[in-house]
Structure 1
Amino acid sequence: MQGIAGQRPLLIWVVHLSVAALVLLWTIPTFGLLVSSFRDGDQLSVSGWWTALTATERNIIFRAPASAAQVQDGDQWVIAGNVFEGQTEGEVTAFGFSSKAPAAFAPGQAAEMRRGQVLEVSRNGDFRIASPEEMKGKRGARIFYTSIDPPRFTLENYRNVLFSEGIGRSFINTLTVTIPATIIPILIAAFAAYALAWMQFPGRALLLAVVVGLLVVPLQMSLIPLLRLYTDIGIGKSYIGIWLAHTGFGLPLAIYLLRNYIKGLPKEIIESAKVDGASDFEIFIKIVLPLSFPALASFAIFQFLWTWNDLLVATVFLGNNEEQLVMTGRLRELLGSRGGNWEILTASAFVSIAVPLLVFFSLQRYLVRGLLAGSVK
């Protein structure tokens, strides 16, 4: 016993360190996503979130104005401007006029171009192209420069996500899908779980085995057959169809989870109620449901998170109709088909998880109790 007792502190430390490592592994990417959601899009595309507080070096190509913008200055023709042109100013560390040598000159140096033209770029971004002859051409010269930009943070990413056209409608659509798709399977599963736990009828064990078997069936197998069936009976591409689809996909887990919990309730309570003349329906409504709230809450968390973050089922059963487009579909369109707007992606990620986080933290105290239900006697 002394050896076992002596090992307990070591085991406890191992468990604590393992939990801390898991928390860290999940927290670091989430924190990085949060930081990235406030960063400037140009800086986010060239550097990681861990460099958010340091200056960023960028290699940029700037197209100078065309020859129509030139003015005569003495015996020279001049085109002038600033390479940052309305952007937040940075600091030019090198420049060039050829892609073969984009950083050949230091700020302030005179770079001789073709036809006697001379290019000068100062450290603050001001440039000057001077030519002894009048410049011609519809396109301006290219200026390559290396810029050191200070850290930039903005709320524009969240403005684009929150106030883009149609986002409010999509939010309402998502709630319209999620709330009934969470409540309906809970109601059905609660009745079924009570029947499988306490009521005696032929085929109960077989029915329970079927429910457990359905837990491993991938929902992708049934999407097209279900859609064809719904279309034939007239509920395809409608809210009723997607409610029934989410109900069917969520019922096996709900029944299994609730049945384990209800089966673990004290047998004496059920028997005493039956002796007093209570029917199964009265026992279920007045005794079992109030005692099963932890299990109901734990499943509600899973089902709500699943339906809120769903894109596949919503696309299949609702489509991309503007009037029925959910949040995930709207944010996908806002991001673009190429997925290059990382600042929109990171901001939309936090917008989309705001409601699930609120639900989770409201019900999380019941989660463990519900998941462990029926595991011990």
Structure 2
Amino acid sequence: MAAAVAQLRRIGLPRLIVHLSVLAIVLLWLFPTLGIFISALRDKDQLAVSGWWTALSTAHRTEVARLADPATQKQEGNLYVIAGNVWEAGDARTIDSFGTRIQEPSAVKAGETADLGEGETLQVNADGSYRYAKPEAFDGSRGRRIYLTVTTPPEFTFDNYRTVLNSEGIGRAFINSLTVAIPATIIPILVAAFAAYALSWMRFAGRTLMIAMVVGLIVVPLQMSLIPLLRMYNEIGTIFGVPSKTYAGIWLAHTAFGMPLAIYLLRNYMVGLPKEIIESARVDGASDFEIFVKIVLPLSFPALASFAIFQFLWVWNDLLVAMVFLGTTKDQIVLTGNLNALLGSRGGNWEILTASAFITIIVPLIVFFALQRYLVRGLLAGSVKGG
């Protein structure tokens, strides 16, 4: 105990609070992602009745079954008997108990014989086999309804992913999203890097005003500029005979929407680079383009990676801009659009929706974990001193 208290004192209360807060945030993000992944691997019947956190435990639930029709009865001595199995061949479920009334679905243990009165008996075994007997012939056209308490072992399958990838058009939408997201991430980085260098290290009239305009544009809602941008794009397309729904259009749209934040982040980073390096390069006769390409860009990689994460995630998860500038046809619809369609057509099929959702987050997770070590460095650089 004393050692633990000493360790806490060495860590310090503020740092301990920070560590616990970070851990809580990580868990808040981890559990939903883990839940989607596990749910997408579960059998649809188990997913419908229990949560993902019970995936590794045996499930118990009450089910309704019917015995065979009276037409299948056979006479054995003085008894008329209906025999069979409530399960189909290969069913791995186990019956714990059974009953003939909904109020008592587990009145009799599996394997025991229930006395139903007047010589009528029913025996249901754990494997689903049963023997229903009575001294008089069975009448009616339907078999008797019984209630079963069933034990179901955990069951996992890749059928949900196969269904999504092969039948729901997700594969094509996945390619469409990559076609949109990769250029829409690279183009604004290239353009914003040149602008950020100019606003950081080149002296010209109106530079301060342009920096203020960039900061102001960050807070402009996308919805306010969407319609004017679309009208301007359509007018230019009409003049030059360019189709309205093209990949080039959505690339330019995402570039326009992402440019203010890109310039702001990169400029904050570049302005904090050592001034002596830039001045030494100029003394040696290097042009601004050479300084930008050979010195500034390599040193600015953390900031470039930080913005690449933000831009890629935003474009990949976008639905509004994709629907407006690209459309919703089968050859052009992106992953978010396809998943939105599934919410309408397969709203009750949670196994299909969870598999679709996890497929959509695979690429963002790969991008984030590949570049996350640069994220904090890129965001914090330039936050203390600037020019």
Instruction: Quickly name the TM-score band, shorter chain normalised.
Output: 0.7 to 0.9
**Is 1:300 the counterpart of 2:308 in the alignment?**
yes
**Is 1:52 the counterpart of 2:55 in the alignment?**
yes
User: Which residue among 278, 292, 298 is the counterpart of 1:284?
Assistant: 292
Q: Aligned residue for 2:265?
A: 257
Report which stretch shifted further, 50-59 or 269-278: 269-278
Superposed counterparts of 1:118-133, under 5 Å:
121-127=124-130, 132=136
**Is 1:145 the counterpart of 2:145 in the alignment?**
no
Question: How far apart are the structure 1 equivalents of 2:360 and 2:293?
Answer: 35
- CA 1:311/1:145 → structure 2, altered by over 3 Å: closer, same or farther? farther
Q: Aligned residue for 2:380?
A: 372
User: Which residue among 345, 351, 354 is the counterpart of 1:346?
Assistant: 354
- CA 1:84/1:220 → structure 2, altered by over 3 Å: closer, same or farther? farther
1:353 match: secondary structure: helix
Q: Aligned residue for 2:247?
A: 239
Q: Aligned residue for 1:15?
A: 18
Q: CA deviation at 1:177?
A: 0.6
Check whether the contact 1:95–1:102 (CA below 8 A) recurs between aligned residues.
yes
Unaligned runs of 5+ residues in structure 2 are 1-8
2:32 match: secondary structure: helix
TM-score by length of 2: 0.80
Q: CA deviation at 1:239?
A: 1.1
1:208-243 deviation line (CA, Å, top 9, x unaligned): 222212222232334444445444535433212211
Q: Aligned residue for 2:35?
A: 32
Name the count of aligned residue pairs. 369
Q: Aligned residue for 1:248?
A: 256
**Is 1:183 the counterpart of 2:186 in the alignment?**
yes
Identical aligned residues as a percent:
64
Which residue identity lines up with residue 212 of structure 1 in the other structure? Answer: V
Q: Aligned residue for 1:273?
A: 281
1:323 match: secondary structure: coil
2:345 match: secondary structure: coil
Which residue identity lines up with residue 148 of structure 1 in the other structure? Answer: T
Q: Aligned residue for 1:3?
A: none
TM-score by length of 1: 0.82
**Is 1:193 the counterpart of 2:196 in the alignment?**
yes
Question: How far apart are the structure 2 equivalents of 1:260 and 1:110?
Answer: 80
Superposed counterparts of 1:95-106, under 5 Å:
95-96=98-99, 99=102, 102-103=105-106, 106=109
User: Which residue among 169, 172, 175 is the counterpart of 2:175?
Assistant: 172
Question: How far apart are the structure 2 equivalents of 1:236 and 1:128?
Answer: 70
**Is 1:154 the counterpart of 2:142 in the alignment?**
no
Unaligned runs of 5+ residues in structure 1 are 1-5
Report which stretch shifted further, 309-318 or 52-61: 309-318
Aligned-residue RMSD, C-alpha:
3.4
Question: How far apart are the structure 2 equivalents of 1:321 and 1:142?
Answer: 49
- CA 1:77/1:208 → structure 2, altered by over 3 Å: closer, same or farther? farther
1:85 match: secondary structure: coil
Check whether the contact 1:111–1:120 (CA below 8 A) recurs between aligned residues.
no
Check whether the contact 1:93–1:148 (CA below 8 A) recurs between aligned residues.
yes
- CA 1:52/1:262 → structure 2, altered by over 3 Å: closer, same or farther? same
Report which stretch shifted further, 242-251 or 336-345: 336-345
Check whether the contact 1:96–1:111 (CA below 8 A) recurs between aligned residues.
no
**Is 1:322 the counterpart of 2:330 in the alignment?**
yes
**Is 1:83 the counterpart of 2:86 in the alignment?**
yes
Which residue identity lines up with residue 15 of structure 2 in the other structure? Answer: I
